[in-house]
Chains A and B, each alone.
Chain A
Amino acid sequence: MAECHPVGFQWVMEAKARGAKIIHVDPRFTRTSAVSDVFVPIRAGSDIAFLGALVNYVLTHGKEFREYVVAYTNAAAIINEDFKDTEDLDGLFSGFDAEKRAYDHSSWAYQGAEAQSGAGDPSDRTGGQQHRATAQAEQHGSGGATVSAKPDEDPTLEHPRCVFQILKRHYARYTPEMVEEVCGVPAAKFLEVAEAITANSGRDRTTALCYAVGWTQHTVGVQYIRTASILQALLGNIGRPGGGILALRGHASIQGSTDIPTLFNILPGYIPMPHARQHLDLASFVAEDAGRTGFWGNMDSYTVSLLKAWWGEHATAGNDFCFDYLPRLTGDHGTYSTVLRQIEGECKGYFLVGENPAVGSANGKLQRLGLANLDWLVVRDLQMIESATFWRNGPEIETGELRTEEIGTEVFFMPAAAHTEKDGSFTNTQRLLQWHHKAVDPPGDARSDLWFYYHLGKLIRHRLRDSTDPRDLPVQHLTWSYVEEGPLGEPSAESVLAEINGTGPDGPLSAYTQLKNDGSTSCGCWIYCGVRADGVNQAARRKPGRDQTWVAPDWGWAWPANRRIIYNRASADPDGNPWSERKKYIWWDSAAGRWVGADVPDFEPTKPPDFEPEEGARAQDALGGADPFIMQTDGKAWLFAPAGLADGPLPAHYEPLESPYSNPLYAQQVNPTLQRYDHPANPYNGSAFPYVVTTYRLTEHHTAGGMSRTLPYLSELQPEFFCEVSPELAEERGLEHLGWATIITSRSAIEARVMVTRRMKPLRMREQVVHQVGLPYHWGPNGLSIGDAANDILGVAADPNVHIQEAKAATCDIIPGRRPRGQALLDLVAEYRRRG
Chain B
Amino acid sequence: MTERMGFFTDTSVCIGCKACEVACKTWNDIPADGVDLLGMSYDNTGSLDANTWRHVAFIEQTVQDDTRWLMSSDVCKHCTEAGCLDVCPTGALFRTEFDTVVVQADICNGCGYCVPACPFGVIDRREDDGRAWKCTMCYDRIGDGLMPACATACPTESIQYGPLDELRERADERLAELHSRGQADARLYGHSPDDGVGGAGAFFLLLDEPEVYGLPSNPVVTTRDLPAMWKRAGLAAVAVAAGVAVSFLGRR
Q: Which residues of A contact B (CB under 8 A)?
A: 2, 6-7, 9-10, 13, 17, 29, 31-35, 39, 698-700, 712-720, 722, 737-738, 753, 755, 757-759, 761, 784-785
Indicate whether A761 sits within 8 Å of B39 (C-beta atoms), given known contacts A13-B13, A699-B18: no
Q: Are B71 and A34 in contact (CB under 8 A)?
A: yes
The answer for the CA separation of A101 and B199 in the assembled complex, in Å, is 71
List residues of chain A with CB within 8 A of the CB of B126: none
- For residue A524, give the distance in angstroms from its CB to the closest CB of chain B: 35
Q: Are B15 and A9 in contact (CB under 8 A)?
A: yes
Q: Which of B26, B62, B66, B155 contacts A713 (CB 8 A)?
A: B26
Q: Are B39 and A755 in contact (CB under 8 A)?
A: yes
- B21 at the binding interface (Cβ < 8 Å): yes
The answer for the CA separation of A713 and B18 in the assembled complex, in Å, is 10
Indicate whether A6 sits within 8 Å of B155 (C-beta atoms), given known contacts A719-B36, A738-B39, A758-B62: yes
Indicate whether A738 sits within 8 Å of B37 (C-beta atoms), given known contacts A34-B71, A712-B32, A717-B22: yes
List residues of chain B with CB within 8 A of the CB of A715: 32, 35
Q: Are B156 and A784 in contact (CB under 8 A)?
A: no
Q: Which of B25, B33, B44, B70 contacts A718 (CB 8 A)?
A: B44
Indicate whether A2 sits within 8 Å of B17 (C-beta atoms), given known contacts A718-B44, A719-B36: yes
- For residue B177, give the distance in angstroms from its CB to the closest CB of chain A: 9
- For residue A40, give the distance in angstroms from its CB to the closest CB of chain B: 12
Closest to B12 in A: A35
- For residue A741, give the distance in angstroms from its CB to the closest CB of chain B: 13
Q: Are A34 and B62 in contact (CB under 8 A)?
A: no
Q: Are B26 and A720 in contact (CB under 8 A)?
A: no
Q: Are A31 and B15 in contact (CB under 8 A)?
A: yes
- What does the 1/0 interface line of B1-30 toward A look like (CB < 8 Å)? 000000000000101111101100110000
Q: Are B35 and A719 in contact (CB under 8 A)?
A: yes
Q: Are A34 and B69 in contact (CB under 8 A)?
A: yes
- For residue B20, give the distance in angstroms from its CB to the closest CB of chain A: 11
Closest to B51 in A: A716
- For residue B22, give the distance in angstroms from its CB to the closest CB of chain A: 5
- For residue B38, give the distance in angstroms from its CB to the closest CB of chain A: 8
3 A-B pairs with least C-beta separation: A712-B32, A719-B35, A34-B69
Q: Which residues of B contact A (CB under 8 A)?
A: 13, 15-19, 21-22, 25-26, 32-37, 39, 41-42, 44-45, 60, 62, 66-71, 155-157
List residues of chain A with CB within 8 A of the CB of B62: 758
- For residue B88, give the distance in angstroms from its CB to the closest CB of chain A: 29
List residues of chain B with CB within 8 A of the CB of A33: 67, 69
Q: Are B67 and A6 in contact (CB under 8 A)?
A: no
Indicate whether A31 sits within 8 Å of B37 (C-beta atoms), given known contacts A714-B22, A716-B44, A759-B69: no
Indicate whether A39 sits within 8 Å of B35 (C-beta atoms), given known contacts A13-B13, A717-B45: no
Interchain Cβ contacts under 8 Å between A and B, 19 examples: A9-B156, A10-B155, A13-B13, A13-B15, A29-B69, A31-B71, A34-B15, A34-B70, A34-B71, A35-B15, A700-B18, A713-B25, A714-B22, A717-B22, A718-B44, A757-B41, A758-B62, A758-B67, A785-B35
Q: Are A34 and B16 in contact (CB under 8 A)?
A: yes
The answer for the CA separation of A35 and B71 in the assembled complex, in Å, is 10
Q: Are A717 and B21 in contact (CB under 8 A)?
A: yes
Q: Are A717 and B44 in contact (CB under 8 A)?
A: yes
Closest to B31 in A: A712
List residues of chain B with CB within 8 A of the CB of A698: 42
Indicate whether A784 sits within 8 Å of B39 (C-beta atoms), given known contacts A2-B17, A29-B69, A713-B22: no
List residues of chain B with CB within 8 A of the CB of A13: 13, 15, 156-157
List residues of chain B with CB within 8 A of the CB of A17: 13
List residues of chain B with CB within 8 A of the CB of A35: 13, 15
- For residue B180, give the distance in angstroms from its CB to the closest CB of chain A: 12
- For residue A180, give the distance in angstroms from its CB to the closest CB of chain B: 17
The answer for the CA separation of A715 and B34 in the assembled complex, in Å, is 8
Closest to B181 in A: A19
- For residue A560, give the distance in angstroms from its CB to the closest CB of chain B: 29
The answer for the CA separation of A39 and B36 in the assembled complex, in Å, is 30
List residues of chain A with CB within 8 A of the CB of B157: 10, 13
Indicate whether A699 sits within 8 Å of B16 (C-beta atoms), given known contacts A29-B67, A759-B69: yes
The answer for the CA separation of A722 and B42 in the assembled complex, in Å, is 11
Q: Are B44 and A719 in contact (CB under 8 A)?
A: yes
List residues of chain A with CB within 8 A of the CB of B32: 712-713, 715-716
- For residue A441, give the distance in angstroms from its CB to the closest CB of chain B: 22
List residues of chain B with CB within 8 A of the CB of A6: 15, 17, 19, 155-156
Which of B19, B26, B39, B60 has the most chain A CB within a 10 Å cutoff? Answer: B39
Closest to A30 in B: B69
Q: Are B37 and A753 in contact (CB under 8 A)?
A: yes
List residues of chain B with CB within 8 A of the CB of A10: 155-157
Closest to A739 in B: B39
The answer for the CA separation of A566 and B102 in the assembled complex, in Å, is 51
List residues of chain A with CB within 8 A of the CB of B33: 716
The answer for the CA separation of A250 and B231 in the assembled complex, in Å, is 65
The answer for the CA separation of A649 and B106 in the assembled complex, in Å, is 72
List residues of chain A with CB within 8 A of the CB of B37: 719-720, 722, 738, 753
Closest to A720 in B: B37
List residues of chain B with CB within 8 A of the CB of A716: 32-36, 44-45
Q: Are A717 and B71 in contact (CB under 8 A)?
A: no
Which of B34, B36, B37 has the most chain A CB within a 10 Å cutoff? Answer: B37
Closest to B52 in A: A716
The answer for the CA separation of A712 and B32 in the assembled complex, in Å, is 6
List residues of chain B with CB within 8 A of the CB of A713: 21-22, 25-26, 32
- For residue B139, give the distance in angstroms from its CB to the closest CB of chain A: 21
Closest to A13 in B: B156
Q: Are B15 and A2 in contact (CB under 8 A)?
A: yes
Q: Are A759 and B15 in contact (CB under 8 A)?
A: no
Q: Which of B19, B21, B35, B69 contacts A784 (CB 8 A)?
A: B35
Q: Are A9 and B44 in contact (CB under 8 A)?
A: no
- For residue A92, give the distance in angstroms from its CB to the closest CB of chain B: 40
Q: Which of A7, A699, A722, A759 contacts B60 (CB 8 A)?
A: A759
Q: A6-B17, A13-B156, A29-B67 are in contact. List 10 more A-B contacts (CB 8 A).
A: A9-B155, A17-B13, A31-B16, A31-B17, A31-B71, A32-B15, A39-B67, A698-B42, A716-B32, A738-B37
List residues of chain B with CB within 8 A of the CB of A785: 35
- For residue A189, give the distance in angstroms from its CB to the closest CB of chain B: 11
- For residue B155, give the distance in angstroms from its CB to the closest CB of chain A: 5
